[in-house]
């Protein structure tokens, strides 16, 4: 996933392009670049740097590039390592400049032909073929940039959005969309393009979203959009204010998407001041927690919905460290007689801290002889926090999307901290604690890598839109993650989804598997991997289509048209449940978009369930 921005007007566009890139950095930041056409010398000025947009901004101080026409790009590498040579914009003959988001699947074949025609390639990217092809068509068609881009686009296969400009054509910018998002920003005597509205909010509130196959000719005073057949078409104008409060959504289409993308930040905030240089700070749970934690011999977790799933993951973590743990939904716990073993810590988990069943469970627990009560909660002022003896606040910020996302991953972080602190009292060595705490510090980056799968998952979602059922599989601590993935899909896309521990399939659910039942599975590199792979072979043998999210070090030994694998990079086992949650959230989101449901406020649900 990459971000692109382009601008044409009268003023110097460099600061606008840079600000746009900063706002698109969530899409990738291994390198960045800008090209401008400076009217003073009629030359393209290109500056590229490895690393974040800030590095590019600093380089531009020494090596200014200015112009009223320009393109910029922030990259997340697909073809070719992150390097200056591979950073966009890519040029052809110092005359054509291209920025690209997506993947050109047939670039190798095009490269061979262009090389034979005398073009020299200086990068390892798929994008460079677009620059040379455009140049080739431009020379052949007598200098019509729009026609050249149209001819080029017709030869490309894959998913992409493009911004193209030409040194010899200072009055236009061409934008093309086929599979990756692109929006036009409408100004007064100036126009813009970007991968996302958010990039352009500082300069305009009026937007036109390009549709699949559209090519736009963008000039200072006007723009014209052509559909895939070359017909000039009108696309509706959208205003930032009408997009349901763009300010609140920061330019994202839905709060849920915004909240999914906030996870690296809020996870880092939840860790802040609680883990330092590989050590956990005991005071995170309050000054009185330490002596109480020393006495804990077992944990009883009670919660609802997504928060319950977080508790189920914690059971694997706690018991792995030798701490007995049971987990239960609050609506069951509150009405049954339960047995409280000595020195048991009662833990509630809740985003809102107002869920009626969870609160009632806490009140019941206080009569049942627990050592003490701990709330893991996102709202400091909530009833749950006020009524619990100990608290660990998640710092997810306000969660507005009804389907919980960032609250869940921050709950998992909080539970991981709890497990390690209790583990310390149960013989976890200092070196093991340090290694596990360091894993936690890797989380924000690992989550960003998972988010970079956004567009690939958007394409994957198409396979689900017409389905009525889906199966989610996982083993060990990934089983609750599969449950959470199934819940997300159910609640926002209304597709019936079930989660199973992969080993349980053969005991019945395998009967459901056929070509109409997509099977989703998370595959971290852990001790259960080979077992899960065998379970997946059983699915394949029954004609099931597999959608796998795997650690990059996992060789699935599975291939073929009915197997789709996306890699999340190398993820340490101890944090894998947190990271592998993200692609399942994105999958549910994109399926819901395709189904046209109300993503942020799915039918029949409410954000905070304060009734029984
Ligand atoms: C699902 C979801 C719900 C909540 C549940 C508990 O996406 O959001 O299942 O997790 O209603 O709510 P809290 O965490 O506020 O107690």
DSSP state string for 499-543: EEEGGGGGGTGGGG-STTSEEEEEE-SSTTHHHHHHHHHHHHHTT
Nearest residue (CA) to ligand 1, atom 3: 305
Length reported for the chain: 612
Whether 570 is in a domain gets the answer yes
Nearest to 202 by CA among 7, 345, 48: 7
Query: Which helix (H) or strand (E) covers residue 590, if one does?
Result: helix 576-595
> Which one is catalytic: 2, 166, 304, 325?
2
Of the two residues 263 and 380, the one the predictor is more confident about is 263
Report d(CA 187, CA 201) in Å as an integer.
11
- Give the position, in ligand 1's atom list, of the atom nearest the Cα of 306: 10
Take residue 37 and report the two structure tokens written for it: 């056409």
Q: Is the dihedral of CA 77, 82, 84, 86 positive or negative?
A: negative
Cis status of the peptide bond prior to 16, with omega within 30 of 0: no
Pocket residues for ligand 1 (CB within 6 Å)? 304-307, 350-352, 355, 358, 403-404, 487, 491, 608-609
Residue closest by Cα to atom 10 of ligand 1: 306
CA 325 to ligand 1 center in whole angstroms: 21
Burial of 557 (0-12, 13-18, 19+ CB in 10 A): exposed
- 302, 305, 348, 601: residue to mutate for ligand 1 pocket, most atoms within 8 A of CB: 305
Residues 366 and 222 in one domain: no
**DSSP code of residue 219:** -
pLDDT band at 245 (very low <50, low <70, confident <90, very high): very low
- For residue 87, how far is the Cα from the chain centroid? 22
User: Which residue, 366, 397, 428, sits at the end of a domain?
Assistant: 428
Question: What CATH number did the domain enclosing 580 receive?
Answer: 3.40.50.10490
Around 554, how many Cα atoms within 13 Å sit in the side-chain half-sphere? Answer: 27
- Is the domain of 314 the same as that of 386? yes
Query: Residue 186 belongs to what domain range?
Result: 3-242
Measured CA angle at 456 (ends 537, 460), to 5 deg: 55
Q: Which atom of ligand 1 is nearest to the CA of 358?
A: 16
160 located within any domain: yes
Domain boundary among 226, 242, 258: 242
pLDDT recorded at residue 609: 66
Using alpha carbons, list the distances in angstroms from residue 358 to 304, 318, 336, 350, 355: 7, 21, 14, 8, 5
Of 267, 275, 321, 276, the closest CA to residue 299 belongs to 321
Are 417 and 377 part of one and the same domain? yes
2 annotated active-site:
yes
Q: Is residue 199 part of a domain?
A: yes
Q: Write down the H helix ranges in 200-343.
A: 246-249, 255-261, 263-271, 289-295, 305-320, 330-333
Q: What is the pLDDT of residue 270?
A: 92
Nearest-CA residue for atom 9 of ligand 1: 305
Q: Which of 609, 610, 612 to mutate to test the pocket of ligand 1 (most atoms within 8 A of CB)?
A: 609
Higher pLDDT, 78 or 402: 402
Average pLDDT rounded to a whole number, residues 486-513: 94
* Cβ neighbours, 10 Å, residue 62: 7
* Given the residues 52, 490, 531, 607, the one annotated as active site: 607
301-359 residue pLDDT tens? 999 999 999 999 999 999 999 999 999 999 999 999 999 999 999 999 999 888 889 99
Residue 272's pLDDT band, with cuts at 50, 70 and 90, is confident
| Residue 349 CA to ligand 1 centre (angstroms) | 9
User: Is residue 435 one of the residues assigned to a domain?
Assistant: no
Distance 307 CA to ligand 1 centre (A): 6
Element (H, E) at 224: strand 223-226
pLDDT for the residue numbered 30: 83
For residue 78, pLDDT over 80 is answered with: no
Closest to 6 measured CA to CA, from 190, 156, 272, 208: 190
Q: What are phi and psi of 133, to 5 degrees?
A: -60, -45
Of 204, 227, 242, which marks where a domain is finished? 242
Q: How far is the CA of 384 from the centre of ligand 1 (A)?
A: 14
CATH code, 59: 3.60.20.10
What is the DSSP code (8-state) at residue 314? H
Task: Answer yes or no: 607 catalytic.
Answer: yes
Mean pLDDT confidence for 431-460? 95
pLDDT of residue 380 exceeding 90, the answer is no
| Domains identified in the chain, total number | 3
CA of 404 relative to ligand 1 center, distance in Å: 6
């Amino acid at each position: 996933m990459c971000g692109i921005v382009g601008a044409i007007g009268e003023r110097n566009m460099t600061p606008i392009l840079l600000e746009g890139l900063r706002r698109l950095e969530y899409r990738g930041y291994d390198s960045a670049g800008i090209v401008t056409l400076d009217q003073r010398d009629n030359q393209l000025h290109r500056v590229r740097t490895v690393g974040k947009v800030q590095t590019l901004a600093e380089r531009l101080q020494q090596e200014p590039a200015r112009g009223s026409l320009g393109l910029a790009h922030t990259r997340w590498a697909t073809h070719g390592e992150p390097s200056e040579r591979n950073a966009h914009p890519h040029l052809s003959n110092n005359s054509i400049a291209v920025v690209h988001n997506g993947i050109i699947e047939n670039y190798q074949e095009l490269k061979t032909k262009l090389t034979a025609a005398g073009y020299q390639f200086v990068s390892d990217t798929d994008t460079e073929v677009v620059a040379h092809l455009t140049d080739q068509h431009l020379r052949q068609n007598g200098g019509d940039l729009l026609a050249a881009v149209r001819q080029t686009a017709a030869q490309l296969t894959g998913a992409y959005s493009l911004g193209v400009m030409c040194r010899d054509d200072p009055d236009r910018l061409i934008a093309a969309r086929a599979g990756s998002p692109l929006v036009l920003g409408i100004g007064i005597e100036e126009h813009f393009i970007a991968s996302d509205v958010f990039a352009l909010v500082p300069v305009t509130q009026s937007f036109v979203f390009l549709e699949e196959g559209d090519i736009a000719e963008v000039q200072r005073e006007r723009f014209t959009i052509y559909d895939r057949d070359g017909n000039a078409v009108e696309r509706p104008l959208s205003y930032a204010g009408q997009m349901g409060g763009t300010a609140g959504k920061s330019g994202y289409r839905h709060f849920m998407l915004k909240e999914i993308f906030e996870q690296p930040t809020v996870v880092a905030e939840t860790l802040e001041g609680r883990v330092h240089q590989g050590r956990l700070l005991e005071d995170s749970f309050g000054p009185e927690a330490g002596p109480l934690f020393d006495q804990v011999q077992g944990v009883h977790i009670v919660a609802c919905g997504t928060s319950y799933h977080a508790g189920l993951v914690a059971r694997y973590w706690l018991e792995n460290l030798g701490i007995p743990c049971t987990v239960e939904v609050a609506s069951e716990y509150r009405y049954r007689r339960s047995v409280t073993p000595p020195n048991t810590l009662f833990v509630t988990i809740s985003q809102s801290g107002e869920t009626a069943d969870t609160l009632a469970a806490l009140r019941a627990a206080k009569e049942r002889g627990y050592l003490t009560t701990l709330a893991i909660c996102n709202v400091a002022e909530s009833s749950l926090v006020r009524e619990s003896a100990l608290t660990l606040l998640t710092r997810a910020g306000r969660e507005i999307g009804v389907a919980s996302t960032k609250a869940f991953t921050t709950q998992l972080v909080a539970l991981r901290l709890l497990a390690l602190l209790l583990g310390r009292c149960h013989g976890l060595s200092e070196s093991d604690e340090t290694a596990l705490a360091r894993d936690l510090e890797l989380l924000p980056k690992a989550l960003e890598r998972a988010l970079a799968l956004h567009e690939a998952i958007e394409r994957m979602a198409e396979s689900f839109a017409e389905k009525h059922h889906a199966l989610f599989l996982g083993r060990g601590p990934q089983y609750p993650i599969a449950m959470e993935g199934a819940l997300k899909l159910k609640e926002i896309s209304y597709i019936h989804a079930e989660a199973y521990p992969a080993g349980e399939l053969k005991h019945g659910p395998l009967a459901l598997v056929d070509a109409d039942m997509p099977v989703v599975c998370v595959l971290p590199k852990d001790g259960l991997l080979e077992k899960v792979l065998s379970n997946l072979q059983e699915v394949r043998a029954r004609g099931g289509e597999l959608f796998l999210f795997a650690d990059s070090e996992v060789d699935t030994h599975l291939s073929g048209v009915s197997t789709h694998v996306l890699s999340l990079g190398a993820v340490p086992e101890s944090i894998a449940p947190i990271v592998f949650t993200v692609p399942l959230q994105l999958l549910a989101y994109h399926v819901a978009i395709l189904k046209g449901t109300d993503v942020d406020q799915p039918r029949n649900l409410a954000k905070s369930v304060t009734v029984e």
